[in-house]
């Protein structure tokens, strides 16, 4: 059962307080809410715009915060992108960040293949290249602990996997809860897991006789491709498709859906819906499902948090006149 509980208010943190948590578990948190501050599990590293301030800003801009007409943008987020190959998704995200669509800076490229296309692009664009992990083919690579320290020194908020072919260690997953995304070239859970990467995925899709395929953006957990799905796009599988033709069709959609997902992530517009949990009856388990907020709604003017807070105080001063 899901209730449409759309509320503005502080962002939702998984509280250590079991009673408070149980009370919350009894309520479903709505998946699509009209504005960024509604109930949501946020990555600890992002800012939380003040709901009253955004309402004031919306009023000042003639919008209506309740209708999602104002997207509040906090501080610029800092991204580390992990790549093993050509890096076209990495380039799409970097270009979207440079163009202002994604409210972020790409501060590091992490790769297990220092000679790959993604690493070359990063060097040509002044982005720090980090080789991880250490291996025979990349002896200059660093350890998990060194990588974690480097990402912290760079104040990285989110990690984006984009064609990275190594398993992300559990210590990185634990250090960045709900802050690591991956893009996979099939409609997970189909055609995912160990051994499913690159053209292998598209060969399996064609061999299966599937009529549709497409990219999946998902949060990363300690296993390959089993994290919570955030966004998907669908493309047709044509009768005479080669794996390369299907790969190109899927890749085109990947660039769109990943940029959209990262845009939402950096604007704090991902909300987590929790199904009513039957934990108190001793069965079942709770599922948190991340959703892009307002995915079909109109996006209002983008307001920087500084303008937002300034308009809020003008609004408050005007009340006193």
> Residue numbers of the site for ligand GAR (CB under 6 A)?
83, 85-89, 162-163, 183-185, 196-198, 201, 251, 254
Cα distance between residue 148 and residue 174, in whole Å: 11
Give the nearest distance from C-beta 92 to ligand GAR in angstroms: 8
| Residue 165 lies near ligand LMY7XDAE (rule: CB under 6 A) | yes
Give the nearest distance from C-beta 286 to ligand GAR in angstroms: 28
- Given ligand GAR, ligand LMY7XDAE, none, residue 21, with its beta carbon under 5 to 8 Å by kind, binds none
- Given ligand GAR, ligand LMY7XDAE, none, residue 220, with its beta carbon under 5 to 8 Å by kind, binds ligand LMY7XDAE
| Residue 136 lies near ligand LMY7XDAE (rule: CB under 6 A) | no
- Given ligand GAR, ligand LMY7XDAE, none, residue 89, with its beta carbon under 5 to 8 Å by kind, binds ligand GAR
| Residue 167 lies near ligand LMY7XDAE (rule: CB under 6 A) | yes
Give how many residues touch ligand LMY7XDAE by CB under 6 A.
18
Give the nearest distance from C-beta 88 to ligand GAR in angstroms: 3
Among 135-143, 159-167, 261-269, 297-305, the segment contacting ligand LMY7XDAE (CB under 6 A):
159-167
Q: Which one of 39, 94, 184, 255 is the catalytic residue?
A: 184
- Given ligand GAR, ligand LMY7XDAE, none, residue 194, with its beta carbon under 5 to 8 Å by kind, binds ligand LMY7XDAE
What ranges make up the beta strands (E) of the chain?
71-73, 77-83, 104-111, 128-131, 158-161, 180-184, 212-213, 216-219, 229-232, 235-236, 270-274, 288-292, 302-304
What ranges make up the beta strands (E) of 34-191?
71-73, 77-83, 104-111, 128-131, 158-161, 180-184
| Residue 164 lies near ligand LMY7XDAE (rule: CB under 6 A) | yes
Residue 320 near residue 297, CB atoms below 8 Å: no
Provide the 3-class DSSP secondary structure of residue 81: strand
Give the nearest distance from C-beta 220 to ligand GAR in angstroms: 11
Pick the binder of ligand LMY7XDAE from 90, 121, 132, 224 (CB under 6 A): 224
Give the nearest distance from C-beta 239 to ligand LMY7XDAE in angstroms: 27
Letters for 181-220 (x = contact with ligand LMY7XDAE by CB under 6 A, - = none) are -x-x---------xxxx----------------------x
Cα distance between residue 163 and residue 256, in whole Å: 15
**Annotated catalytic, 223?**
no
| Phi, psi (degrees; rounded to nearest 5) at 81 | -110, 130
**Residue 44 neighbours by CB under 8 Å, 6+ apart:** 177
The DSSP-derived string for 263-304 is: HHHHTT-EEEEEPPP-GGGT-----EEEEESSTTSPP--EEE
Give the nearest distance from C-beta 199 to ligand LMY7XDAE in angstroms: 12
**Tokens standing for 13?**
């943190």
- What angle, rounded to 10 degrees, do the helices at 305-320 and 51-60 form? 80
Upstream peptide bond of 41 is cis (omega within 30 degrees of 0): no
For the CA atoms of 147, 148, 152, 155, what is the dihedral angle to 10 degrees? 70
Residue 257 near residue 215, CB atoms below 8 Å: yes
Q: Could you tell me which of 23, 50, 25 has the C-alpha nearest to residue 35? A: 50
The binding site for ligand LMY7XDAE (CB under 6 A) comprises 161, 164-168, 182, 184, 194-197, 220, 222-225, 227
Q: Point out the residues that are catalytic.
A: 184
């Amino acid at each position: 059962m899901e209730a449409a509980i759309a509320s503005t208010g502080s962002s939702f943190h998984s509280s250590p307080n079991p009673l408070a948590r149980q009370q919350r578990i009894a309520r479903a948190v709505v998946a699509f809410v009209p504005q960024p501050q509604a109930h949501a599990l946020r990555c600890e590293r992002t800012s939380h715009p003040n709901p009253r301030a955004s309402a004031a800003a919306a009023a000042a801009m003639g919008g209506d915060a309740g209708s999602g007409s104002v997207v509040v943008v906090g501080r610029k987020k800092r991204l580390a992108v992990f790549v093993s190959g050509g890096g076209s998704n990495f380039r799409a995200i970097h270009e979207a960040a440079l163009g202002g669509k994604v409210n972020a800076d790409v501060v590091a490229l992490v790769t297990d293949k220092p000679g790959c296309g993604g690493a070359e692009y990063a060097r040509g664009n002044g982005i720090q290249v980090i080789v991880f992990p250490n291996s025979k083919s990349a002896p200059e690579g660093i350890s998990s602990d060194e990588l974690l320290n480097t990402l912290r020194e760079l104040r990285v908020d989110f990690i984006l996997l984009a064609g990275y072919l190594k398993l992300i260690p559990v210590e990185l997953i634990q250090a960045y809860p709900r802050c690591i995304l991956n893009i996979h070239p099939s409609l997970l859970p189909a055609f995912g897991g160990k051994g499913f990467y690159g053209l292998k995925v598209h060969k399996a899709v064609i061999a299966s006789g599937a009529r549709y395929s497409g990219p999946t953006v998902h949060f990363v957990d300690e296993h390959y491709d089993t994290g919570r799905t955030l966004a998907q796009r669908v493309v047709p599988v044509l009768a005479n498709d080669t794996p390369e033709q299907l790969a190109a069709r899927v890749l085109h959609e990947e660039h769109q859906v990943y940029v959209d997902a990262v845009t939402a992530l950096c604007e704090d517009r991902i909300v987590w819906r929790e199904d009513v949990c039957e934990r108190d009856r001793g069965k079942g388990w709770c599922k948190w499902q991340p959703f892009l907020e307002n995915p079909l709604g109109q996006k209002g003017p983008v307001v920087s948090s500084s303008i937002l807070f300034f308009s809020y105080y003008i609004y408050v001063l005007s009340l006193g006149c």
